[in-house]
């Protein structure tokens, strides 16, 4: 029998490796939705002691403290300002306010949209606006605003003085933090862009697109900061003067649409003329959402039925909003529970995300919980048996102590008499029916007297 030598191991690959494969994973990594603002400081930290934003993977809530995302000091990727993104998308000025490359699969702007963009007047807002002194009447002013309505230092200075101090977006102040919070609350990005809406089913995408197009063409606008009585050479000045004359006002004067008080020549106001020649004028501090009464952030309004709303409360009048993920619901079928609307999958336990459709649940702070989580985190502990008291079990309370409403738990520690509905003594976490039982208990337990 002939010996056969062991074969030599061939270490050469059968096919040459594509050198491009080694570049995978080296490119720019995408930011997942629940990673945006990761670790951001909570503005309610004095109350909740949050360790930093840890966003739930579909709720717009922090897992650490339960506060909303807009209650955290979130910084968007690429240092974008939230308002710049909204204005860029909805006022067809994206090239001006949000310089981004199209994502894969993103529809490029049509020629018609380009024409519309060029024909539309661009918003005058400026960001990180430095005053640097030199303002009329206040040469010492030297502040920087996160947002200003226009690049006119005199008008900006006078406009900001019309606002409460906590609403002035001075960089590094509470006013800047309030503006950030109002931006996220009033102008949800997932309301104004198909790409940001994560829970719209494919069959409902066209509905969302139609909603966004209607907002672009007929609803959104930006209030214009003006000096009352100035620029009367406008074409509508005669009509406006006649209207004011009928109201008993002088030429150039007007009334605030909100408080109805007279605005005199030289005052600072916010004007809106949405698809009409009739102008609505407001004091800067009166230009607020009709529903939430918050100051309309950056003067961005949504006009509906002759009233001005923030983006959130305009949308809420047309479509239900999911109480779980905070996105609009465009589907015909959804869950309605606890006087709120929910996507089917989002009516879930606030702790473990167990879907509650068809299951028993409890609510706490307006949030639903499965029975298991409710028992674990919120149910009271019986002072006698040390077991949790279920939500469907009767209980007795005295100050901060709780018992099952059963004889086996609520009885005299000495004679075992049932104390439900009777007078009792409660000393050192012990139930007693009388002073005699108390004396007998102390005699029998000299080291644990009550």
Q: Taking 60 as the threshold, does the pLDDT of residue 104 lie above it? A: no
Label residue 8 by pLDDT band (50, 70, 90): low
Q: What's the pLDDT at 115? A: 40
The stretch 410-432 carries a mean pLDDT of: 91
Q: What's the pLDDT at 32? A: 45
Structure confidence by residue, pLDDT tens digits, 191-202: 988 888 889 989
Q: What's the pLDDT at 197? A: 86
Cα separation, 291 vs 326, in Å, equals 17
Structure confidence by residue, pLDDT tens digits, 206-258: 999 999 999 999 999 999 999 998 754 444 555 555 555 555 555 567 899 99
Higher pLDDT: 317 or 84? It is 317
Cα separation, 346 vs 403, in Å, equals 35
Task: Find out whether 262 and 255 touch, Cβ atoms under 8 Å.
Answer: yes
Averaged pLDDT score across all residues of the chain: 81
Cα separation, 382 vs 407, in Å, equals 13
Label residue 111 by pLDDT band (50, 70, 90): very low
Q: Taking 50 as the threshold, does the pLDDT of residue 26 lie above it? A: no
Label residue 83 by pLDDT band (50, 70, 90): confident
CA distance readout (Å), 165 to 27, 169, 202, 295, 390: 45, 9, 45, 13, 49
Among 5-14, 342-351, 355-364, the range scoring the smallest mean pLDDT is 5-14
Task: Find out whether 268 and 228 touch, Cβ atoms under 8 Å.
Answer: yes
Label residue 25 by pLDDT band (50, 70, 90): very low
> pTM of the predicted model, to two decimals?
0.76
Neighbouring CB atoms inside 10 A of 88's CB total: 21
The stretch 342-351 carries a mean pLDDT of: 94
Q: Where are the alpha helices (DSSP H) in 17-173?
A: 45-48, 82-90, 94-97, 111-119, 153-161
Among 9-23, 155-169, 324-338, 413-427, the range scoring the smallest mean pLDDT is 9-23
Closest CA relative to residue 281, chosen from 216, 227, 220, 219: 227
Dihedral of alpha carbons 387, 391, 392, 396, sign: positive
Structure confidence by residue, pLDDT tens digits, 47-79: 778 888 888 888 988 888 888 888 888 877 656
Structure confidence by residue, pLDDT tens digits, 251-288: 567 899 999 999 999 999 999 988 777 789 999 999 99
Tokens 């009048």 belong to: 317
Neighbouring CB atoms inside 10 A of 140's CB total: 7
Structure confidence by residue, pLDDT tens digits, 284-317: 999 999 999 999 999 999 999 999 999 999 999 9
Q: What's the pLDDT at 325? A: 94
Label residue 446 by pLDDT band (50, 70, 90): confident
Q: Taking 70 as the threshold, does the pLDDT of residue 423 lie above it? A: yes
Burial class, 103, CB count within 10 angstroms (exposed 0-12 / middle 13-18 / buried 19+): exposed
Cα separation, 284 vs 141, in Å, equals 20
Task: Find out whether 180 and 173 touch, Cβ atoms under 8 Å.
Answer: no
């Amino acid at each position: 029998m002939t010996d056969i030598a062991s074969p030599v191991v061939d270490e050469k690959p059968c096919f040459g490796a594509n050198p491009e494969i080694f570049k995978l994973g080296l490119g720019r990594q995408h930011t997942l939705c629940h990673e945006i603002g990761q670790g951001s400081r909570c503005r309610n930290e004095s109350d909740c002691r949050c360790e930093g934003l840890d966003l739930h993977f579909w709720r717009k809530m922090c897992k650490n403290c339960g506060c909303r995302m807009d209650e955290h000091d979130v910084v968007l990727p690429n240092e974008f300002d939230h308002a710049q993104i909204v204005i860029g998308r909805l006022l067809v000025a994206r090239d001006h306010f949000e310089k981004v490359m199209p994502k894969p699969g993103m529809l490029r702007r049509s020629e018609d949209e380009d024409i519309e963009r060029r024909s539309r007047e661009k918003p005058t807002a400026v960001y990180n606006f430095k005053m640097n002194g030199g303002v009329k009447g206040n040469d010492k002013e030297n502040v920087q605003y996160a947002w200003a309505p226009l690049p006119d230092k005199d008008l900006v200075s006078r406009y900001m003085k019309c606002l409460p101090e906590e609403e002035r977006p001075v960089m590094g102040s509470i006013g800047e933090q309030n503006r950030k919070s109002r931006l996220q609350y009033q102008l949800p990005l997932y309301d104004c862009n198909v790409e940001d809406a994560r829970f719209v089913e494919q069959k409902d995408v066209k509905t969302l697109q139609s909603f966004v197009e209607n907002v672009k063409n007929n609803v959104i606008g930006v209030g214009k900061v003006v000096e009352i009585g100035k620029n009367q050479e406008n074409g509508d000045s005669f009509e406006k003067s006649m209207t004011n004359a009928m109201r008993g006002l002088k030429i150039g004067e007007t009334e605030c649409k909100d408080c109805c008080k007279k605005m005199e020549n030289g005052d600072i106001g916010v004007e809106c003329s949405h698809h009409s020649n009739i102008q609505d004028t407001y004091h800067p501090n009166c230009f607020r959402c009709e529903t939430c009464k918050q100051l309309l952030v950056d003067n961005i309004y949504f006009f509906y039925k002759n009233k001005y709303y923030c983006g959130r409360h305009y949308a809420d009048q047309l479509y239900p909003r999911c109480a779980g993920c905070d996105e609009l619901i465009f589907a015909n079928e959804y869950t309605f529970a606890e006087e709120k609307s929910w996507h089917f999958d989002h009516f879930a336990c606030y702790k473990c995300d167990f879907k509650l459709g068809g299951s028993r649940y409890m609510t706490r702070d307006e949030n639903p919980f499965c029975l298991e989580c409710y028992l674990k985190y919120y149910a009271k502990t019986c002072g006698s048996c040390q077991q949790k008291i279920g939500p469907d079990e009767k209980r007795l309370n005295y100050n901060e102590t709780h018992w099952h409403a059963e004889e086996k738990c609520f009885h005299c520690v000495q004679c075992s008499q049932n104390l439900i509905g009777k007078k009792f003594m409660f000393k050192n976490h012990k139930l007693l029916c009388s002073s005699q039982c108390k004396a007998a208990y102390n005699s029998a337990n000299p080291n644990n007297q009550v």
